[in-house]
Chains A and B, each alone.
Chain A
């Protein structure tokens, strides 16, 4: 089975390498990109899309398909981490701390699960109490990081930034919570199920906007056809469509980042790790 996997990987790699042989050379002046494509983008992007940021216009509009599948790749990375690493086996031994007295209980019966809350709290063998200074500073910083992430997503079509970057910043704020407190605190606030749903929802928003464009009688991801649905200046409809797509990308990237972090740091157990 392993050998078969190796053969498939090698064949795919060889196929990709064979495919790149057909590409024009690096900086080739006769390639289509140099002859007319770049010039067309530079001249017409602002006029056609009303988006001042050329890079976003190319990424989210002219090459919308490419970005859609990039989002799907990020989603697949999160899914692969979940499928390969997630370990649903119950732990055999558990440690609890009786909060009022500080007594530590060692429960060897795996079926007996104490309810954590006011009286008992979870303990791991290599658990160390989170540092007060780090906790406090991270608690102050996390809301600012999240607001900044939302700003990067929302401002993506006017200045450098966008869904991928904003999603990564938002995901890193959640990971900072897991580092400064512990993994359980993060999982209590953001359930695994919610993360999975959000990762899929992000891709669905992207594809859904494309499908609505098709439904309104245009091509897939042809944002101009959305104009009757949204009130306001119809010239800005492409910018708004891109914003919707960027929000989808942001949600997908955030959820995928956190899924990957949680599964790798705790080896799929979701119970310890700092």
Chain B
């Protein structure tokens, strides 16, 4: 059981780390939003799954309810995080920000 918890937490941390590195390393605004939106969502899912399993050590109705509430957080993050990224990209396009191309980066 504990091994499963650690595994999920490590997976979550891995995705968060990837997201952080991606935000710093990616070349422009739009590509930076890609790790910010995608990896955070999956990272939160893995982390909360790990914590929920840890919480179920002493199985009871209360613990189960707490797990349901935790997954409610995941549900809302799953809804709102991609939508926020989408609207930020939309705003960038409307404001007229050009996307990055490889040629421009070399020149």
Q: Which residues of A contact B (CB under 8 A)?
A: 128, 131, 133-134, 137-138, 140-141, 144
15 additional A-B pairs beyond A131-B86, A134-B83, beta carbons within 8 Å, are A128-B94, A131-B87, A131-B90, A133-B83, A133-B86, A134-B86, A134-B87, A134-B90, A137-B79, A137-B83, A138-B83, A140-B79, A141-B76, A141-B80, A144-B76
> What's the dominant secondary structure at chain A's contact region?
helix
What's the least CB distance linking A136 to chain B, in Å? 9
Contact residues on B (Cβ < 8 Å of other chain), bracket? under 10
Which B-chain residue is minimally distant from A137 (CB atoms)?
B83
List, in ascending order, chain A residues with CB within 8 A of B90's CB: 131, 134
List, in ascending order, chain A residues with CB within 8 A of B86's CB: 131, 133-134
What's the least CB distance linking B38 to chain A, in Å? 16
Which B-chain residue is minimally distant from A133 (CB atoms)?
B86
Distance in angstroms between the alpha carbons of A134 and B83 in the assembled complex: 6
Distance in angstroms between the alpha carbons of A128 and B87 in the assembled complex: 13
What's the least CB distance linking A63 to chain B, in Å? 33
List, in ascending order, chain B residues with CB within 8 A of A133's CB: 83, 86
Give 7 closest A-B pairs by Cβ, nearest first.
Answer: A137-B83, A134-B87, A137-B79, A133-B86, A134-B83, A131-B90, A133-B83
Distance in angstroms between the alpha carbons of A141 and B79 in the assembled complex: 8
Which B residues, 61 to 81, have Cβ-Cβ distances below 8 Å to chain A?
Answer: 76, 79-80
List, in ascending order, chain A residues with CB within 8 A of B76's CB: 141, 144
Whether A137 touches B94, Cβ cut-off 8 Å, given contacts A131-B86, A131-B87, is: no
List, in ascending order, chain A residues with CB within 8 A of B83's CB: 133-134, 137-138
Distance in angstroms between the alpha carbons of A159 and B94 in the assembled complex: 43
List, in ascending order, chain A residues with CB within 8 A of B94's CB: 128
What's the least CB distance linking A107 to chain B, in Å? 26
Distance in angstroms between the alpha carbons of A140 and B87 in the assembled complex: 16
Q: What are 18 A-B contacts defined by CB distance under 8 Å?
A: A128-B94, A131-B87, A131-B90, A133-B83, A133-B86, A134-B83, A134-B86, A134-B87, A134-B90, A137-B79, A137-B80, A137-B83, A138-B83, A140-B79, A141-B76, A141-B79, A141-B80, A144-B76
